[in-house]
């Protein structure tokens, strides 16, 4: 039951985000803000971890690709992303 509730909430959130991103480049408008930083994990990494696709959300898919191409994001992923190499101890 909890899984179904969580899935419905996630789908509702993604629908809302997709609608918002249909009209704006970023969540808070035309500029990259803290709202985007806070949401980045949910659209760049979470779908992979839970085995779901963003194919039904074309605006989120574009947004996730945009975030993942940012130089600071690329650097952060090199350091702490899912494919990051562990530092030598």
Give the list of residues 6+ apart from residue 23 with CB closer than 8 angstroms, or none.
none
Tokens for 63, please give them. 């947004």
Cβ atoms of 55 and 77 closer than 8 Å: no
Of the pLDDT bands very low, low, confident and very high (cuts 50, 70, 90), residue 66 is: very high
Residues 53, 83, 17, 5, Cα dihedral to 10°: 60
Q: What is the pTM of this model?
A: 0.80
Distance from C-alpha of 23 to C-alpha of 18, rounded to nearest angstrom? 9
Q: 1 pLDDT exceeds 80?
A: no
**CA atoms of 53 and 35, how far apart (whole Å):** 22
Q: How confident is the model at residue 19 (pLDDT cuts 50, 70, 90)?
A: very high
């Amino acid at each position: 039951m909890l899984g179904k509730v969580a899935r419905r909430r996630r789908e509702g959130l993604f629908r809302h985000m997709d609608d918002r991103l249909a009209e704006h480049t970023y969540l808070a408008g035309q500029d990259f803000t803290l709202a985007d930083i806070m949401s980045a994990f949910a659209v760049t990494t979470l779908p992979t971890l839970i085995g779901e696709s963003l194919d039904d959300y074309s605006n989120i898919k574009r947004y996730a690709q945009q975030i993942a191409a940012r130089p600071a994001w690329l650097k952060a992923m090199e350091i702490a992303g899912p494919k990051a190499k562990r530092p030598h101890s």
